[in-house]
Amino acid sequence: MMILESNDFKNNEILDKKFTCDGEDFSPHLKWYDVPEGTKSYALTFTRPDPELGEISHWYIYNIPLDVKEIQQDGIIPGIEVENDFCTLHYEGPNAADGIKKYIFRIYALDVEKLEGLKKQNFKKIIRQHTIEYTELVGMYERKSTPKPSNSCSGCSPSNQF
């Protein structure tokens, strides 16, 4: 069974502020291993489930090469990033208001080396069609500060508090 871990937090632990919109908004370290036979590439998602809005995308990456099994903290992205729900092409850390929230990193082992034409609207559907196996790592975060001015975090509009 494939495993996803981080040097920066353990499963179901609170994420450090530096990985959020309240801090430096760094992406955390991620590494995966015990990948299934037949894997040809990987895709990564970072999302937050929301009872009203569904799943909010913070980070989508695909075409991660087979030989890559680690992303360093705030490191170079070894694949193609897709626009997220904040209208950006990069990691957007937790920034939801009103209580503790669950954020999910998922790594997908895919049966194809390269995919083309992925967009936010079709990303999950196409990834699911090529998934051999996936695993996840959950981080929690509770915003304790007043949201920063709209120019501090990316987004489609200043009202984005996903």
pLDDT higher than threshold 70 for residue 150: no
pLDDT band at 159 (very low <50, low <70, confident <90, very high): very low
Residue 17 lies in a domain: yes
CATH code (residue 22):
3.90.280.10
Q: Is residue 21 part of a domain?
A: yes
Beta-bridge mates of residue 54: 50
Is 49 within the bounds of a domain?
A: yes
Would you state the structure tokens that stand for residue 24, as one six-digit string? 């430096």
Residue with the two structure tokens 């990316």: 154
- Residue 92 counted as domain residue: yes
For residue 11, being part of any structural domain is answered with yes
Q: What is the pLDDT of residues 79-127, one digit of tens each?
A: 999 999 999 999 999 988 888 999 999 999 999 999 999 999 999 999 9
Q: What is the DSSP string of 57-80?
A: EEEEEEEEETT--EE-TT----SE
Q: What is the pLDDT of residue 147?
A: 55
Residue 150 falls inside a structural domain: no
Is 154 contained in some domain?
no
Element spanning 123, H or E? helix 123-129
Q: How confident is the model at residue 157 (pLDDT cuts 50, 70, 90)?
A: very low
Q: How far apart are CA 71 and CA 48, in angstroms?
A: 20
Render pLDDT for 6-58 as a digit per residue (tens, 0 to 9). 999 999 999 999 999 999 999 999 999 999 999 999 999 999 999 888 999 99
Asked if residue 42 lies in contact with residue 34, where contact means CB atoms within 8 angstroms, the answer is no
Domain extent at residue 47: 3-142
Give how many domains the chain has, as a whole number: 1
pLDDT in tens, 58-80: 999 999 999 999 999 999 999 99
Tell me the C-alpha distance between 12 and 34, whole Å.
Answer: 21
158 vs 62, more confident? 62
In a domain, 160, yes or no: no
